[in-house]
Amino acid sequence: MLASGIWGVSKESIGRVLAAGAGGAVIKSISREPREGHPNPAVIQHGDYLINAIGYANQGMEDARMEFSELKKLKRPVIASAIGKTPEDFALVVGHLTEGNDFSAVELPLSCPHTPGYGTLAGQTTPDNTYRITAAVRDVTKLPLFIKLSPNSEGIGEAAKAAQEAGADGITMGNSLGPGMRINIETRRPVMGFGLGGVSGPAIFPVLLRCVSDVYKAVDIPVIGCGGVSSGKDAIEMMMAGAHAVQLGSAIYYHGLEVFGDALQEMRQWMGQNGYSSVKRLIGAVHG
Amino acid sequence: MDDPALRAPHHDRRMSIPIMFQIDRAVPEAKDVVTLHFRGLLPYRPGQFYMVWLPGINQKPYSLSHHDAEGFGITIKRFGAFSRALSKAKKGDWVGFSGPYGNHFTITKGALFVGGGVGMASLSTAIDLTADARIIIGAVTAAGLVFRKRYASATLVTDDGSAGEKGFVTLPLQRLLDGTKKPPLVLACGPEPMLARVLDICRQAHVPCELSLERYMSCGFGICGKCVLGDRMVCYDGPVFRGEDLYKNEDFGVSKREKTGKKVSLTKSKH
């Protein structure tokens, strides 16, 4: 499925990603008020990684609620993504976005590495805060609730357990790595408009793969693997580490929207050749 | 729209971290319009764009208005804070280029070019490669005409009649399409209401057109999603669109998105 933050600004964009073969999609994260985000350059790419510091630019929950109406027409699951500065904020946005709309699930990114007041910069991924935020949102929605964690922290398993205890239905593992930075040597300035940003792309795949493996061992709820997946074989590897589902984002830079259809095709082919009739046998296969 | 000939390859020769060049010279072109020239080589096909970075300020998309063996240039109209800062940059200042992004115009002998205001900047490199090009340059006043000396044979149109014909570019366009020497293709860039009229006229005359569009962008390479235009993305599918593909687009000529992603009417735009 499509990871949050890429393409998911409008219902039409989501529809197109689904038509390209994605089994589902997560919308761009929505806050209470509209946000313009950080100045450009907000996304750069070099070699096998991207760095982004979009800064949660979004239209705010009032407009987003209209934008994502009548999602049933898209015929595949669309997942809401909500951010907040406090547990109450998260609950307010989730309640507002999902009321009267056809979202299939809710994802809470507690793990953005480049936006002051949110994510890792506000300590939202500590086990305590993960519990508080998850519990607050659990109170306002019956939809499946996924908590998106950061690959940065040492105790990922603890944060995942806290989310599970607070009633989460799954863990999305995870957000971009870092933050990282690049310096323009001619002008001695940071390249990113915000100075730094989250690192994504194929270069972070090994780190996120290990994180998925850690979370799989720590909790009983399903894990959604995300981070540097660019092919069907990457997705299979992510599933063997413990992912029930896999998200793609930066791969679109390297391969275009076709990456969704191509990855599915590659998975089917590999599974057929290697005697797998269902993905169920792939999930957590490395753990025996 | 999914014609491979019009699609930008995802992996072209693009560089998505700025490559730095120092301004070689700045040349005033028209009222509030200046060209910055740089020495050096950048890969480019007419119609594509670069994300242009002014260190410490911001980064925005620009097509190259000059591109030859010695160097390249961008032509800037002062609209907002960024273009103002960029247009004030001096010889020796560093400017970063990421790209090239997007697809390109189809170079066609005898094509007709219609440029409104600084829209001429994205057409000019295509004009330079086109044999027997015909050109219409429009602006609000004579002072706003871009590249009138560079293309001395162009038909000039101004809203107030201070140079060339009084009215809009659509007048000479209509005459040329009604005439006996119909162009095989119309290429246009300028304010979107103008492009919407150009599309109408070309459709009525059964002449294909390619229109270069502009939307707010964060990345320029199909990740951030901000330049969404109906079910298309300007950086990913464009910026050059075939008229037949825009005709049914719900946003074309109607609405655009602000930095937040909020959809607003095009007429509220200061462009």
Helix axes A156-165, A205-218, angle to 10 degrees: 50
What is the rounded average pLDDT of the residues B58-72? 96
Question: Is A41 in contact with B222 (Cβ distance < 8 A)?
Answer: no
Q: Which residues of B touch A54 (CB under 8 A)?
A: 218, 224
Beta-bridged to residue A224, according to DSSP, are A172, A245
CA contacts within 13 A on the Cβ side of B154: 27
Question: Is A186 in contact with B226 (Cβ distance < 8 A)?
Answer: no
| A220: its two tokens | 């009983």
Question: Is A252 in contact with B222 (Cβ distance < 8 A)?
Answer: yes
Task: State whether residue A43 sits within 8 Å of chain B by CB.
Answer: yes
Task: Give the chain B residue nearest A64 (alpha carbons).
Answer: B262
Q: Which residues of B touch A202 (CB under 8 A)?
A: none
> Cβ–Cβ contacts within 10 Å for residue A29, how many?
28
How far apart are alpha carbons A232 and A60 in whole angstroms? Answer: 34
pLDDT at residue B1, as a whole number: 38
In this predicted structure, the answer to whether residue B267 has a pLDDT above a threshold of 90 is: no
SS3 B191: coil
Q: Where does the pLDDT of residue B251 fall: very low under 50, low under 70, confident under 90, or very high at 90 and above?
A: very high
CATH classification (class only), B4-101: mainly beta
> Cβ–Cβ contacts within 10 Å for residue A208, how many?
24
For chains A and B, CB pairs below 8 A equal 129
Beta-bridged to residue B61, according to DSSP, are B51
**Extents of the domains making up chain B:** 4-101, 112-265
B143-147 LR contacts (CB < 8 Å, sep 24+): B143/B30, B143/B31, B144/B30, B144/B31, B144/B32, B144/B33, B144/B117, B145/B30, B146/B29, B146/B30, B146/B33, B146/B75, B146/B115, B146/B117, B146/B118, B146/B120, B146/B121, B147/B29, B147/B115, B147/B120
Task: State whether residue A7 sits within 8 Å of chain B by CB.
Answer: yes
pLDDT at residue A251, as a whole number: 96
B84 to B6, B29, B33: CA distances (angstroms): 33, 15, 10
Rg (CA), chain A: 18
Closest by alpha carbon to A50, among A258, A251, A260?
A251
Task: Give the chain A residue nearest B52 (alpha carbons).
Answer: A41
What is the rounded average pLDDT of the residues A78-89? 97
How far apart are alpha carbons B265 and A223 in whole angstroms? Answer: 42
Query: Annotated catalytic, A112?
Result: yes
Closest by alpha carbon to B104, among B126, B129, B133?
B126
pLDDT at residue B268, as a whole number: 58
In this predicted structure, the answer to whether residue B249 has a pLDDT above a threshold of 70 is: yes
Closest by alpha carbon to A38, among A118, A130, A150?
A118
Question: Is B224 in contact with A35 (Cβ distance < 8 A)?
Answer: no
Gap from B202 CA to chain A (nearest CA, Å): 27
What percent of chain A is predicted at pLDDT more than 90?
A: 98
> Cβ–Cβ contacts within 10 Å for residue B206, how many?
8
Query: Residue B144 burial by CB count (10 A; 0-12/13-18/19+): exposed, middle or buried?
Result: buried
At residue A216, φ and ψ (nearest 5 deg) are: -55, -40
Q: Where does the pLDDT of residue B12 fall: very low under 50, low under 70, confident under 90, or very high at 90 and above?
A: low
Q: Which residues of B touch A15 (CB under 8 A)?
A: 231
Question: Is A60 in contact with B262 (Cβ distance < 8 A)?
Answer: yes
Q: Which residues of B touch A7 (CB under 8 A)?
A: 222-223, 225, 233
What is the rounded average pLDDT of the residues A258-278? 97
In this predicted structure, the answer to whether residue B271 has a pLDDT above a threshold of 70 is: no
Please answer whether residues B210 and A39 qualify as being in contact, where contact means their C-beta atoms are separated by less than 8 angstroms: no
Catalytic residue among A80, A112, A226, A267: A112
pLDDT per residue over B125-171, tens digit each?
Answer: 999 999 999 999 999 999 999 999 999 999 999 999 999 999 999 99
pLDDT per residue over A168-195, tens digit each?
Answer: 999 999 999 999 999 999 999 999 999 9
Q: Which residues of B touch A8 (CB under 8 A)?
A: 225
Question: Is B60 in contact with A193 (Cβ distance < 8 A)?
Answer: no
pLDDT at residue B2, as a whole number: 42
Average pLDDT over chain B, rounded to an integer:
93
Gap from A221 CA to chain B (nearest CA, Å): 30
Task: State whether residue A183 sits within 8 Å of chain B by CB.
Answer: no
Label residue B47 left, alpha or beta by phi (over 0 means left) and psi (-120 to 50 means alpha).
left
Per-residue burial over B248-258, b if 16 or more Cβ lie within 10 Å, else e, is ebebbbbbbbb
Task: Give the chain B residue nearest A9 (alpha carbons).
Answer: B225
B190 to A219, B103, B110: CA distances (angstroms): 56, 17, 20
What is the rounded average pLDDT of the residues A266-288? 96
Beta-bridged to residue B256, according to DSSP, are B264
Task: Give the chain B residue nearest A3 (alpha carbons).
Answer: B223
| A254: its two tokens | 């390297």
Question: Is A44 in contact with B17 (Cβ distance < 8 A)?
Answer: yes
pLDDT per residue over A191-216, tens digit each?
Answer: 999 999 999 999 999 999 999 999 99
pLDDT at residue B55, as a whole number: 96
Question: What CATH architecture applies to the domain B112-265?
Answer: 3-Layer(aba) Sandwich (3.40)
pLDDT at residue B230, as a whole number: 93
What letter represents residue B254's amino acid? Answer: V
